[in-house]
Amino acid sequence: QVQLVESGGGLVQAGDSLRLSCAASGRTFSSYEMGWFRQPPEKEREFVAAIRWSGGSTRYADSVKGRFTISRDNAKNTVGLEMNMLKPEDTAVYYCTTRNVLSPSWNYWGKGTLVTVSS
């Protein structure tokens, strides 16, 4: 199975930037796409961004488009999420996830890292 470990969360001020990282290990040979989700307090988990290992095609939620950038380092099996112009509404636990090419849903999840944006 695949193991995912997020890092980089913390407390920041509105307007600041923060970079999250996700390290993938284990049976990563079948990993097709990596993604970031987040779960704000008292709200449902929501999609943030995704990137494909091959080609690097990306997609973003409308709420973060233009502010967040997802990237990947294929050699290191890591995925980053550069978050700029952070807003209080970005406060959430951020989760790293991956899916196999044959899977219609996300297969593995990290434990999450908390990002708190104060106004």
Strands across the sheet containing 2-7: 2-7, 18-26, 78-83, 68-73
Residue 66 pLDDT more than 90? yes
Q: Looking at per-residue confidence, does 101 or 6 come out higher?
A: 6
Return mean pLDDT, the chain.
Answer: 96
Give residue-wise pLDDT tens across range 71-112: 999 999 999 999 999 999 999 999 999 999 888 899 999 999
CA–CA separation, 29 vs 81, rounded Å? 22
Mean pLDDT of 45-60: 96
Strands (E), the chain: 2-7, 10-13, 18-26, 31-39, 46-52, 58-60, 68-73, 78-83, 92-100, 108-109, 113-118
C-alpha to C-alpha distance for 41 and 78, rounded to whole angstroms: 27
pLDDT interval class at 51 (50, 70, 90): very high
